[in-house]
């Protein structure tokens, strides 16, 4: 191994929001580093200036901070191997490109876009593999020198030797063999002076002492070029581990066309960071048992690259929703209270003055029934305002001819007592049912409808207690009036 301490890196390009696939790459690198007491490095690969998006780096840093993946070296943190922005390392790449040229392992190429297009078209017509034809290698030294001195645009290409076999020893996929006859003479330095990913990432991984390169499967086909570069420089290669593709449910590659792929999208929709991390960890890895619910600490403890799968991982949104609910329920109510306060600020109830005690009661009552924090509001608006409508299906099924009279009796019993606790509502309802020799359902269903407008929700005694005595009485009165009006066939019993 290059270094006794494992060193891994996440090296995104600032070309947009952080993709779920990018988050998985970052997470697996992070988990590996933490599990092995290694170092996790963040490097910004911003050499593709055409695709660079303003603000993307800030978004990336904020997203990593939000999900809790703290890095040991990188932007804003520093370290011994910076700068951690590739755009600030151009002189380094130029130096190493020149070294390759001197060794005959790379060369200047001056081809015009027109020539390259024509070459491409001719190869397609002949049903040949499309790749560069090494034409620039036929140019005499003096011509090359003259072209450079006159300022003619050029690129630097990798000089891939023909008829060789390059073996990539991958920790996840085993030995993968490549024939150099189908490996293109990759551009290493573009005409704008910026390096391509291939040169910059090899140079930086070497200089930053990266021991394990953990990245997506889409980079596997480029790895023989990287192996050649390590060999040409005489450098020790890192251990490669290529992660399986992320797939849609129909087994196509995960893409924007079939739904959200940016971490930001899931954050905005109310998914918890703990659930997202848990879910993404399972996209291509398992602990070797039936466990699916993990905290970040548990993932760190159990993660190994040996348990990463080769096969593509299907993105199952239903599992993410389930995990979100499980992580939400595992949170202390005090933490959920702060999160609910934030949701209330964004809701139509922002101006309501609600005491913490009441919100904590709502959280306790609704916790088994919600999957997102916002559902502490959207699934139970009756805790924040009186219903203005009543579920017609519930009226038809549950509102009987004797319901108004029974509700009046229940209302009067509630009115007789002060400082009611949850148990008091239970006792009142039980005693009245016994007194009238009726099933409790004959009281529970109409009173639930009256105070919430709905036929479902938390336990009835929780519901009445959280809404409170005076408000319960007001809502019963209002329901009796409104449902009587809506359903004139139903008559009140006094």
**CATH of the domain spanning 392-486, picked from 1.10.3720.10, 1.10.286.10, 1.10.10.350, 1.20.1730.10:** 1.10.10.350
- Sequence-ordered list of residues with C-beta below 8 angstroms from that of 253, at least 6 positions apart, any chain: 245, 246, 247
pLDDT of residue 491: 44
For residues 359 and 333, give the distance between their C-alpha atoms in angstroms, rounded to a whole number: 10
Give domain 90-243's CATH architecture: Alpha-Beta Complex (3.90)
> In sequence order, what E strands does 144-271 have?
155-158, 165-170, 174-179, 187-189, 212-216, 239-243, 246-247
Residues 51, 61: contact at Cβ < 8 Å? no
CA distance 85 to 52: 13
Rg (CA), the chain: 33
Task: Point out the catalytic residue in the list 95, 117, 253, 256.
Answer: 256
**Which residue bears the tokens 């159990």?**
302
Dihedrals phi, psi of 109, to nearest 5 degrees? -135, 135
Model pLDDT, residue 128:
93
Is 409 part of the annotated catalytic residue set?
Answer: no
CATH of 1-79+244-330, picked from 2.30.30.90, 3.40.50.620, 3.50.50.60, 1.10.40.50, is: 3.40.50.620
Q: pTM of the full predicted structure? A: 0.92
Q: Is 42 helix (H, G, I), strand (E, B) or coil?
A: strand
39, containing H or E segment: strand 39-42
Q: With a cut of 70, which residues of the chain have pLDDT below it?
A: 1-3, 256-260, 485-494
Strand-strand pairing, 313-314 and 246-247: parallel
* Helical segments of 191-295, H only: 197-207, 223-233, 263-268, 273-281
Residue 73 DSSP label: B
Instruction: Give the whole-angstrom CA distance, residue 375 versus residue 371.
Output: 7
CA 117/CA 218 separation, integer angstroms: 25
Alpha helices in 68-112 (DSSP H): 90-103
User: For residue 2, what pLDDT is reported?
Assistant: 46
Question: What is the C-alpha to C-alpha distance for residues 235 and 233, in angstroms, rounded to an integer?
Answer: 5
Q: Which helix (H) or strand (E) holds 127?
A: none
Burial readout 69-88 (b: 16 or more C-beta within 10 A, e: otherwise):
bebbbbbeeebebbebbbbe
Answer whether 264's CB lies under 8 Å from 8's CB.
Answer: no
Dist CA 258 CA 251 (whole Å)? 11
What tens digit of pLDDT does each residue of 329-339 get?
Answer: 999 999 999 99
């Amino acid at each position: 191994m290059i270094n006794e301490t494992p060193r891994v890196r996440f090296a995104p390009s600032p070309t947009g929001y952080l993709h779920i696939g990018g988050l998985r790459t970052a997470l697996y690198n992070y988990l590996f580093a933490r599990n092995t007491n290694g170092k996790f490095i963040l490097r910004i690969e911003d050499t593709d200036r055409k695709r660079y998006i303003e603000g993307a780096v800030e978004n990336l840093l904020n997203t990593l901070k939000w999900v809790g993946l703290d890095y040991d070296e990188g932007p804003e943190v520093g370290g011994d191997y910076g700068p951690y922005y590739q755009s600030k390392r151009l002189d380094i790449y130029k130096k190493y490109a020149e070294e390759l040229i001197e060794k005959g392992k790379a060369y200047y190429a001056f081809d015009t876009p027109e020539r390259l297009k024509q070459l491409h078209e001719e190869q397609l017509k002949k049903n040949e593999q499309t790749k560069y034809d090494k034409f620039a290698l036929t140019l005499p030294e003096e011509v090359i020198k003259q072209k450079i001195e006159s300022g003619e645009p050029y690129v630097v290409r990798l000089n891939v030797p023909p008829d060789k076999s390059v073996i990539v020893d991958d920790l996840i996929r085993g030995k993968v063999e490549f024939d150099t006859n189908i490996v293109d003479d990759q551009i290493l330095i573009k005409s704008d002076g910026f390096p391509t990913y291939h040169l910059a990432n090899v140079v930086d991984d070497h200089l930053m002492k990266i021991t394990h390169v953990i990245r997506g499967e889409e980079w596997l086909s480029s790895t023989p070029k990287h192996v050649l570069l390590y060999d040409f420089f005489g450098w020790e290669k890192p251990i490669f581990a290529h992660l399986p593709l992320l797939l849609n449910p129909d087994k196509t590659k995960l893409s924007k066309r079939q739904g959200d792929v940016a971490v930001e999208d899931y954050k905005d929709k109310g998914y918890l960071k703990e659930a997202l991390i848990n879910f993404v960890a399972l996209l291509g890895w398992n602990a070797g048992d039936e466990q699916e619910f993990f905290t970040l600490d548990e993932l760190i403890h159990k993660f190994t690259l040996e348990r990463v799968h080769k096969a593509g991982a299907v993105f199952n949104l239903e599992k993410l929703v389930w995990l979100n609910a499980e992580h939400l329920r595992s949170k202390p109510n005090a933490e959920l209270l702060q999160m609910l306060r934030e949701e209330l600020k964004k809701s139509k109830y922002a101006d309501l003055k609600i005491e913490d005690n009441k919100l904590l009661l709502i959280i306790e009552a609704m916790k088994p029934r919600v999957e997102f924090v916002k559902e502490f509001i959207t699934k139970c608006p009756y805790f924040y305002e009186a219903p203005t409508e009543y579920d017609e299906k519930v009226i038809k099924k549950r509102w009987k001819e004797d319901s108004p009279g029974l509700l009046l009796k229940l209302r009067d019993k509630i009115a007789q007592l002060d400082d009611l606790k949850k148990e008091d509502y239970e006792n009142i309802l039980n005693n009245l049912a016994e007194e009238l020799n009726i099933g409790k359902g004959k009281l529970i269903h109409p009173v639930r409808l009256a105070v919430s407008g709905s036929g479902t929700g938390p336990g009835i005694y929780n519901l009445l207690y959280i809404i409170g005595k005076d408000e319960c009485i007001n809502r019963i009165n209002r329901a009796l009036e409104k449902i009587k009006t809506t359903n004139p066939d139903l008559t009140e019993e006094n």
